[in-house]
């Protein structure tokens, strides 16, 4: 029998592994476009990001795409670093527990896919028109 007191929340490395599994599961036509996107996990979004997005509660932001969408990239762009999908561990875990009806890997995969859609050049409205996950 497992000692329930010994259970711990998944760490950043475990969430990153879940995110990489989501990348591996992308349809073939999207995989090459996502190949160079880095995955990073932080406990919470930085204050300046929350301020920029006008988000008061740091638990409200589970992920963020940081980069230039492929539809806007130009040969004139000087790379300042890789495009990044940020995952925010504590908000993800909080949402997972609050939902209670979805596997954590599925939630992480959904957030990664949503943020990659921004990398592909889709707006939030475009994503919402085909993705009813949040309803």
Domain that residue 88 falls in: 10-70+82-125
Decide if 34 is inside a domain. Answer: yes
Total domains, the chain = 1
Q: Taking all residues of the chain, what is their mean pLDDT, rounded to a whole number?
A: 86
Crossing angle of the two packed helices 104-119 and 12-24, in degrees rounded to 10: 60
Decide if 1 is inside a domain. Answer: no
What pLDDT, in 10s, does the model give residues 120-131? 888 777 777 666
Decide if 134 is inside a domain. Answer: no
Best CA proximity match to 26, nearest among 102, 133, 116, 118? 116
Q: Which residues pair with 42 in a beta bridge?
A: 88
Decide if 4 is inside a domain. Answer: no
What pLDDT, in 10s, does the model give residues 89-103? 999 999 999 999 999
CATH number, position 25: 3.30.2010.20
Decide if 106 is inside a domain. Answer: yes
Decide if 48 is inside a domain. Answer: yes
Cut 0.95: pTM above it: no
Decide if 66 is inside a domain. Answer: yes
């Amino acid at each position: 029998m497992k000692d329930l007191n010994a259970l711990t929340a998944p760490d950043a490395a475990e969430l990153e592994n879940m995110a990489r599994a989501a990348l591996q599961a992308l349809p073939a036509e999207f995989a090459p476009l996502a190949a160079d996107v880095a995955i990073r996990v932080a406990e919470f979004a930085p204050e300046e990001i929350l301020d920029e997005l006008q988000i008061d509660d740091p638990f409200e932001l589970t992920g963020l795409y940081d980069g230039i969408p492929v539809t806007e990239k130009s040969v004139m762009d000087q790379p300042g670093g890789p495009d990044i999908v940020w995952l925010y561990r504590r908000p993800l875990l909080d949402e997972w527990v609050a939902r209670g009806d979805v596997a954590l890997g599925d939630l992480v995969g959904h957030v990664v896919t949503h943020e990659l859609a921004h990398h592909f050049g889709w707006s939030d409205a475009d994503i919402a028109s085909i993705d009813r996950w949040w309803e």
